[in-house]
Each structure stands twice: as structure tokens, then as C-alpha cells.
Amino acid sequence: MADYNPRLNKPLAGLTLAALGVVYGDIGTSPLYAAKETFNPDHGIPLNTSNVLGGLSAIFWSLMIVVSLKYVILIMRANNKGEGGIMALLALASSAVKDHPRRYAMIMVLGVFGASLFYGDAVLTPAISVLSAIEGLVVGTAAFKPYVVPIAVGVVIGLFALQRQGTSLLGAVFGPVAVLWFLAIAALGIRGIASAPEVMRAVNPLHALDFVTQHGWSSFVVLGAVLLTFTGAEALYADMGHFGKAPIRIAWFGLVFPALVLNYFGQGALLITNPKALDNPFYLLAPDWALYPLVALATAATVIASQATISGTYSLTKQAIQLDYLPRMNVTQTSAREIGQIYIRGANWVLLFVIVAAVIGFGSSTRLASAYGVAVTGTMLVTTILTFFVVRFAWRYNLFLSIAVTGFFAVIDAAFFSSSLLKIVEGGWFPLALAAIVFTVMTTWHRGREIAMASQKQTGTSFESFLSTLAEDPPLRVPGTAMFMAGNADAVPGALLRNFACNRILHERVVLLTVIVREVPWVDPSERLEIQTLTHGFYRVIVYFGFMDRPDVSEALKLCQQRGFTLEPLQTWFLLSRATVISTPRKGMAPWRERLFAAMARNARTAGDYFNLPAGQVIELGTKIEI
């Protein structure tokens, strides 16, 4: 059976157009600020023809090696049933080493840290993209300068206010606008190259080698600016499940890569002929009459880039919830046709608050550029390391080849990451602080869940002993079906014990309902359900979901009818435990982490709501869990 993925049901041309609008929004808007920062004289490298050629060559070969070779050709092969992104890669790598506890633990820590860094990227991408687009107004007249930040804040707030409505309407124009954007920046690049055709010599890698080795410490520092040219590369992998490999590769080599190279080379040609254009080489490439239309188009492009990051944040958050690294949140499906279009209210407003704070706090794209690289390159380095474990243990390549394949990219990623760390004081601390907070939250929730499950198992009653009690003293059975959520297959659910202890009765049919999230993105509907007949009127129903599936238990239970297990809606009740977590002095986590876990548990979405159980048929019974 082919890998199941409900998203890939569109023609190749349509998927390629959509990929242009979603996947390449971030990397496609990098020319707004990346060249300006690369040639910034504050790095200590003079702005002359030789160094412009060297900088352009470094940009060209960074795009070629990091994006084309690493992501488009290698990393996209490491997909989890067609799904990409660091959480999907984490699931793939961890499953490959699950029999090696130390490797498994290291991979999980690395993966969660990489995912945490992605949230820092998700904050900075909309902030720097929108700010850099609005700053084009200042090129026309300095009178706009006091209004750049307020306008940028307004654009960001407007974008987030629309998230609840879904991206269907915006998505219809994302692709065409992206095509127009890339054609426009390519045309601007050709216009610039015509003034100094010698910039085409920058395709020679020797210019890049000289640029990054002949200026001492400054060569290392400037890497922190060059990396801005490929900040959206992780999106190629993260959004692979939406579109598939072929559309993303066609879009990259067919339009995006050529347009980016032409534009960067055009900006370099402008700087050779007019070094004063360094104030804003992107907008100064345009003729005067095209400035304001270009600002409008750039703003639209940055909105697309921001939307891609926001959607990616929702997707990553959903995956983390499914893999039990975040508490249950309200995930709203905003499209009946597109399963990937979701909205998470809590993530939306927290993200908006932090982005607005970043826009106001940093105030310019130049200052944000100092903060940007740490999160991006950190995530890329983690992705490369996880890929090694996939290549070595999942694909079973020999050790030498595995190191050779991933080691080359790891060295490059490490160089860029190290360079970005030089700017921690200038703003790099910001995404690291965000990542530290997210990492703490995710690891605390995951560890807390492990401790809570262990506590329940220790204090619970085994299923075998419970059935023995029923055989010795049969209770009164009443009509209907009672379903109990059972996370532990060996123990009796707490809600069942409390209900039986209080009422001394059981329903005619008792169903132990277990939900299992597999380490795959999707589960084929034919494999969704498993029904086991036990004794004394007990049954076990196991429902399987992937970490990208919508965990709709009510919908899954409709499959019971096809398996000969009829559930009468008006005669079926769902009895769930509503746990109160209590922090205790015994060995577990640090007291502050236990209190944090307890607070998250109190505010987590209820199991009935999260699994879409019929509200009128859910009964919750309180319980206490000590950790």
C-alpha cells in the first residue's frame, strides 16, 4: 500500500503554484534586507568591486549548497510518510533508534530544542519581513520614517486578526502574487546587472573562498549576514507534506532560485556603480515611478511570508500536542477541504503579542537582522544532526557514508551558527530566550505526563484482578454502553473504578477506549480502528491517529458499525477522569516545574472536547494525581 497522505490530491501545476505562495514566502523576501546586511561596512570589509564579487559569490554558493543540495536534494528525502518538518523528522529519527535508550534520549532533546528554536524563527520572520517592506517608504521620502513601525504593527495585527477565518481566501491569491513578486525581483536584477555585467563572475566559487578567508575575523563575522539569504530554507522541508517533493523542487529550480540570484547580483552591480546605494539597494534598483508599487508588492509578499510561518507554527504546535510535548489546545479546522488549514487560538495571540513586541522593541530590520540568524541556523544544525540518525539507522547506510553525507553540511551549519552567536548581545539573545522558554514548557509537560502516568500505574488496579472481582461478585448490569478512556492497557481506568465504587453497577457493555498516536503523520482510515472482545461484557477499542491527523474519536467510532460492533448513540456514555495534579515533595521534578506542569494541566483542553466526543454524552469524574 502506498503511503497515505490526504493532502496530495491536486494536479502538479496547481501544487507548484501553491508552493510558490507558501513555501517560498520567507526566502523570497530575503533580498529586501540580506544584501544590505552582507555588505554593511560595520563588518570591517571595505565596499569595493572585489569584495562585492566575493559577497555575491558567498550568497550564490550558500543558496546552492544549503538550499539546493542540502534541503531540496537530501533533506527532503528524509520524509516521514511524505510529511516534513523538524517534529516529523524527530519522530522518524527516534523510531530508528528506539532500541538504544541513550541515542533515543539525545535525539529527543535535540529535536525538542530545534522545535523550540523554530518558534523564535516564527516570531522574527513576520517582524523583519514586514518592517523591511514598509521601510521602502523612507526611500521615497524621509517623512514616512516616524510611521514605519506603527504601519508595520498595523499590518501584523491585521494579519493575525484574519487567522480565525482561515487562509482559504488569502491562499487563492498567494501563488499568483508570489509569481509576480519573483518575476519583479528578477526584472530588477537584470536591470542592475546591465549596469555592471562583471558581477556575473561571482559564480566562480574562488571569489567566495577569498571573501570568507582573506579578511580575518571580519570574514567570520560577515557569515552572520550571508545566512540571511537562506533563512526560509527550513520551510522547504516543513511544508513538504502540503505539496510533495516534486512541486517544491520545480518551483525552486524553475523560478525562485534564478530570480533570487538575479536580484542579488543586480544589487551587487548597483553597489559597484553607486556605493551610496547601500542605504537600501533593493528599492534603489527600481526606477522612481516603480517605487511605491514595489513597496505595495513587497508588503504583500511579506504578508505571504508571515502567513507561511504562522501556518507552520500552528502545524508544529499540533504535532507537539499529538506527540505529548504540549498540553491539549483548541485546534479549529478552518477548511472542510484542506486538512492542513487549522487555527490554534492560544498560539495565535501569544505569537501576535511577541511579534508586536519585537517590532516595537527592535524598531528596524537592521536591528532585527542581528537577532534573526541564531534561531534559523540553530534549527538547521539540529535538522542535519537528526538526518544523520535517519541516514545511518533508518536507511542503514554504512557509518563512513553517513558521516560523509551529513558531516559536510553539519560543518557549514556549525560555521553559520557560530557566526550568528557573535550577535547575541545585539539581539541574538531574543530568539534564544524564546527557545529556552518553549523548551522548558515542552520538556516539563512531557516529563510531567510520564510521571503522572507512572503514578497512576502504581496506584491503579490491574485489569485482571478487577475482572476476578467481578467474577466472584457479579454486579448489577444496566442497559447501554459505557466508554472509559484508558491510557494504560494494563490498568483499570480511574473513572471506571470510581464509578463502580460509588454506584456498584456496570453497564451491559463496558468499552475501554484507547487512543494511540503513532510516529507517522497520517494513519490510513482502513487502519484507524481495532476492536478486541474481552470477558464479562468488556471490550477494548483502540483508535490510531498520526501526529498530523485530526483526533476525532466520534468520527472514528463510526467505523465500529462496519466491524459488526454497533453503538447506539442515545445508549452510549463516555465517562472520563478529570485529574487534579498535586505537587508533592517526593522524587519527580523540581518543585517549580511541578507547579508549572500542574498549571498547564489545569488549563489544558478537556479530553472530551479535544477528541470531539458528543458533549451531551460525556460524564467527568474527578481524580487526584500526585507527582
Q: What does the pLDDT read at residue 5?
A: 59
Residue 13 in 3-state DSSP?
Answer: helix
pLDDT at 166: 62
Take residue 151 and report the three cell numbers written for it: 504601519
Q: Are 190 and 262 in contact (CB under 8 A)?
A: yes
Burial class (CB in 10 A: 0-12, 13-18, 19+), 557: buried
Q: Is 620 helix (H, G, I), strand (E, B) or coil?
A: strand
Cα distance between residue 613 and residue 553, in whole Å: 7
Q: Which three cell numbers stand for residue 356?
A: 508586536
What pLDDT, in 10s, does the model give residues 230-272? 887 887 787 776 677 888 899 999 999 999 999 999 999 999 9
Residue 614 near residue 569, CB atoms below 8 Å:
yes
How is residue 574 written as a grid cell? 463516555
The rounded Cα 362 to chain-centroid distance in angstroms is 24
Give the three cell numbers for residue 28: 523570497
- What pLDDT does residue 199 have? 95
Q: What is the pLDDT of residue 1?
A: 41
Determine the pLDDT at residue 169. 52
Q: HSE, CB side, 13 Å, CA atoms: give it for residue 547.
A: 31
Low-confidence ranges of the chain (pLDDT < 70): 1-10, 165-173, 241-242, 333-341, 457-460, 488-490, 586-587
CA atoms within 13 A on the CB side of 336: 0
pLDDT for residue 471: 79
Instruction: Give one DSSP letter per residue of 40-105, joined into a string.
Output: -GGGS---SHHHHHHHHHHHHHHIIIIIIIIIIIIGGGS-BTTB-SHHHHHHHHHHHTTT-HHHHH
CA distance 492 to 501: 13
